[in-house]
Amino acid sequence: VLKTVLCDLLGIEHPILSAGMARVSQAGLVAAVSEAGGCGVLGGVSYSPEALSDQIAAIRLQTKRPFGVDLVLTPDLLDDSEKAWEPIETLWRNLSPATQAKLEGVSQMFKRGGVRGQLNAVLDAKPALIALAFSAPAWVVQECHARGIVVAALVGSVNGAADAEKAGVDFIVAQGTEGGGHTGHVGTFVLVPAIVDAVSIPVVAAGGVVDGRGLAAALAFGAVGVWVGTRFVASNEAFGHQVYKDRIVRADLTETVITKSYTGKSMRTLRNQWTDQWPPSKETKFPGQYAIAGELVETGYQDGDLETGMMPAGQGAALVHEVLPAAEIVRRMAADADHIIQSRARATDRQPAR
């Protein structure tokens, strides 16, 4: 059985984390991954503080094992000033009641003060892990450590990793451009070893990891585990329409695209009419673009609308061939990586000495 320092750090059996995917990673998926010996991570970004506490309670009803929560705590979202939020609140107010109802699950993104409330709710709940995307403020890391919470930072660049290390995080999640959701421009194959070389804290690989081969490769690059999104979208427990999961199962390598048209930040999602037609000149900033895309940020998840709905997915979708229970994904990934590493070691043993 593969064990790494990540297993010791989080108290888990396999060095496999399911990504904290907004909307998709809800209590059922998180608990299933943690029960299977990985570490499930709740996609916390879109919940109100109260709903976050409820989700965490729901996870704890289903598992006693360690789990994490993913949050986005960028300076602009933490800035509670009228000036920062007025335009965003106005965008929300101008949406029709029907659209507002459809967007109920992400309405939190339009509310001033909500992000600070999320952080307080998670700090109070003391999960094993808090994962921070985009920005890892040192004061948040200190608050987490004071409560015994491990902190990870998701980054897509060496500079981002160095900043997060300075802020005191316990490990880095290095996400390559292959990954689904918000993503950068450097591929996992180069980004992970570059970050392993640049920092002295553990690194976890993300972006394009869907099976045991990906886990074994991540370990070969010096990573201590993997953070996996797209593979778990196509799990029974993920929140999302069956059509979305089936499209991931069918996808080939040409079917994802990076677009700012849904959220205002570069996001890898399944390509469709909306991503093909939206002109970059009309894009506005995160999270305002959410309101402009309106119902479309939900019609993929809720209605399986393939033509215009947002359906984040990574290039690894081309390697996903069936929807599986999350526990089976964890089991196969761990067992296959173990087998690959053992068999390669034996193959190397047999090489004649030079």
Ligand X SMILES: Cc1cc2nc3c(=O)[nH]c(=O)nc-3n(C[C@H](O)[C@H](O)[C@H](O)COP(=O)(O)O)c2cc1C
Binding site for ligand X (CB under 6 A): 19-22, 24, 43, 45, 70, 133, 154, 175, 178-181, 206-209, 227-230, 233, 312-314, 316
Q: Which is nearer to ligand X, 185 or 344 (CB)?
A: 185
Q: Which is nearer to ligand X, 187 or 222 (CB)?
A: 187
The angle, 0 to 180 degrees and rounded to 10, between the axes of the packed helices 326-350 and 27-35 is: 40
Residue 352, Cβ density class (10 Å: 0-12 exposed, 13-18 middle, ≥19 buried): exposed
Place of tokens 């490990």: 171
Q: How far is the CB of 83 from ligand X (least distance, A)?
A: 26
**Joined tokens for residue 121:** 């709710």
Q: How far is the CB of 209 from ligand X (least distance, A)?
A: 6
Q: Which is nearer to ligand X, 16 or 91 (CB)?
A: 16
Q: How far is the CB of 315 from ligand X (least distance, A)?
A: 7
Q: Which is nearer to ligand X, 114 or 314 (CB)?
A: 314
Q: Which is nearer to ligand X, 250 or 282 (CB)?
A: 250
Q: Which is nearer to ligand X, 133 or 141 (CB)?
A: 133
**Joined tokens for residue 20:** 């904290």
Q: Are 218 and 205 in contact (CB under 8 A)?
A: yes
Residue 137, Cβ density class (10 Å: 0-12 exposed, 13-18 middle, ≥19 buried): middle
Q: How far is the CB of 350 from ligand X (least distance, A)?
A: 34
**Joined tokens for residue 60:** 């704890």
φ, ψ (nearest 5 deg) of residue 72: -115, 115
Q: Which is nearer to ligand X, 144 or 154 (CB)?
A: 154
CA distances from residue 236 to 102, 211, 240 in whole angstroms, order as listed: 23, 17, 10
Q: How far is the CB of 279 from ligand X (least distance, A)?
A: 24
Q: Which is nearer to ligand X, 37 or 214 (CB)?
A: 214
Q: How far apart are CA 317 and CA 208, in angstroms?
A: 8
> 87 Cβ partners below 8 Å, 6+ apart?
288
> 3 Cβ partners below 8 Å, 6+ apart?
15
Q: How far is the CB of 85 from ligand X (least distance, A)?
A: 20
Q: How far is the CB of 262 from ligand X (least distance, A)?
A: 11
H helices within the chain, ranges in order? 5-10, 27-35, 49-62, 75-78, 82-93, 97-102, 114-125, 138-146, 158-167, 188-198, 212-220, 230-233, 242-250, 273-277, 288-293, 296-303, 326-350
**Nearest-CB residue for ligand X:** 229
Residue 244 amino acid letter: Y
- Give the closest residue to 16 by CA, choosing from 30, 26, 24, 28: 30
Q: How far is the CB of 210 from ligand X (least distance, A)?
A: 7
Q: Which is nearer to ligand X, 17 or 125 (CB)?
A: 17
Q: How far is the CB of 337 from ligand X (least distance, A)?
A: 15
